[in-house]
Amino acid sequence: MDFTGAHIVSIDQFERPDVEAVFSVADRMQPYALRQRVTRVLEGAILGNMFFEPSTRTRVSFGSAFNLLGGEVRETAGFESSALVKGESLQDTARVLSGFSDVICMRHPVEGSVADFASASRVPVLSGGDGANEHPTQALLDLYTIRKELADRGRSIDGLKIAMIGDLRFGRTVHSLGKLLRLYRDIEVVLISPEELSLPEDIVEAMRLSGIGVSISDHLTENIADVDIVYSTRIQEERFPSKQQADLYRGKFRLNQAIYTEYCQPNTVIMHPLPRDSRSDANELDSDLDNNPNLAIFRQTDNGVLVRMALFAMVLDVVDRVDAHAYDVRWYNARQT
């Protein structure tokens, strides 16, 4: 895959060497994200951060990643009804907005809309999510986190055993991660969910066809004894017909420190795409895990900045110039204290 000038709208675009290229560049972004160094390589470049559906954390993550490379951000943070109400096509919107920036990030509630937009854009488009369809940078940051956490344990992604827990039907992050894992060898996935919220059959089939060992259960503690990662998810209440129906499943698979100590390996990594539901009737990941060094959930969002920096640098073809335009940070760095 040639990243220069490419749209990034689906994880299906990625072969294993592509994923590894992104991860390798993400590693090199670390000194900038940790505020040890500042780079100005994209000074003068403009990101059009077009979020036609609100999402504070993903929007700010993309914007900060671009700022960390020295670029500017123009943005929209909400549904833009006016032009659509006036009958404008998404392609027209793309042609206009792509005249204002060097690269665009776009989130839109309609499935397929980001690819539609990208087809008419005159600059590269990175998807920030299109409804229930794709959220490729989330899948990449999840896998990047798995790679890093396992590397700290002397391991690689090949040979991974991971438990995916909770609402596997509506949670698009596990769908995408499941697909990405097909690029690796000797993967075992344990799917733990209520039967009604199980992973869609076509994804399970695709995983098995690629050689992934998939087992399915609706019981938590029996199945997390020998996994490297527990990947917990939230009941996607907003996709259920009613709150009452979501309530039936909320809180079924809770993890806390006591359960972790009794059932997990002492260094099992805990992940979650966030937000985690901390209300008492859900409490998927109890706050008593917050001091557990294996809780990687905030490292995941930190890694999202690295992965997004890497994609910007690759799409705009500045990877090898990042360090040439850099200097040491000259202000207080909270991260080093």
* Residues of this chain, 296-335, that bind a copy of itself according to CB under 8 A: 298, 301-302, 305, 315-318, 321, 325, 329-335
* 14/139 Cα distance (integer angstroms): 11
**126-131: long-range contacts (C-beta < 8 A, 24 or more apart)?**
126/7, 126/8, 126/9, 126/62, 126/308, 126/311, 126/312, 126/315, 127/8, 127/9, 127/10, 128/51, 128/55, 128/58, 128/59, 128/62, 129/53, 129/55, 129/58, 130/9
* 195/184 Cα distance (integer angstroms): 27
Contact between 114 and a copy of itself per CB under 8 A: no
Contact between 274 and a copy of itself per CB under 8 A: yes
The CA distances from residue 250 to 136, 165, 221, 257, 283, in Å, are 27, 12, 17, 19, 9
Catalytic annotation on 175? no
Contact between 142 and a copy of itself per CB under 8 A: no
Nearest approach, Cβ of residue 137 and a copy of itself (Å): 14
Catalytic annotation on 107? yes
| Complex with a copy of itself: residue 166 or 227, whichever CB lies closer | 166
* Binding residues for a copy of itself restricted to 31-70, rule: CB under 8 A: 35, 38-46, 48, 54-57, 60-61, 63-64, 67-68, 70
Contact 268, 228 (CB under 8 A): yes
| Complex with a copy of itself: residue 210 or 283, whichever CB lies closer | 283
* 50/57 Cα distance (integer angstroms): 14
Contact between 74 and a copy of itself per CB under 8 A: yes
Contact 208, 233 (CB under 8 A): no
Which position among 108, 135, 147, 179 bears the catalytic label?
Answer: 135
Which of 11, 29, 118, 123 is the binder for a copy of itself (CB under 8 A)?
123
* Binding residues for a copy of itself restricted to 165-194, rule: CB under 8 A: none
Identity of residue 86? K
Which position among 39, 59, 93, 107 bears the catalytic label?
Answer: 107
Contact between 82 and a copy of itself per CB under 8 A: yes
Contact between 220 and a copy of itself per CB under 8 A: no
| Complex with a copy of itself: residue 221 or 333, whichever CB lies closer | 333
Which position among 7, 39, 58, 137 bears the catalytic label?
Answer: 58
Tell how far CA 43 is from the center of its chain.
26
Catalytic annotation on 86? yes
Nearest approach, Cβ of residue 87 and a copy of itself (Å): 3
Nearest approach, Cβ of residue 214 and a copy of itself (Å): 28
Beta strands in 177-288 (DSSP E): 188-192, 213-217, 229-232, 269-271
- The catalytic site residues sit at 57-58, 86, 107, 135
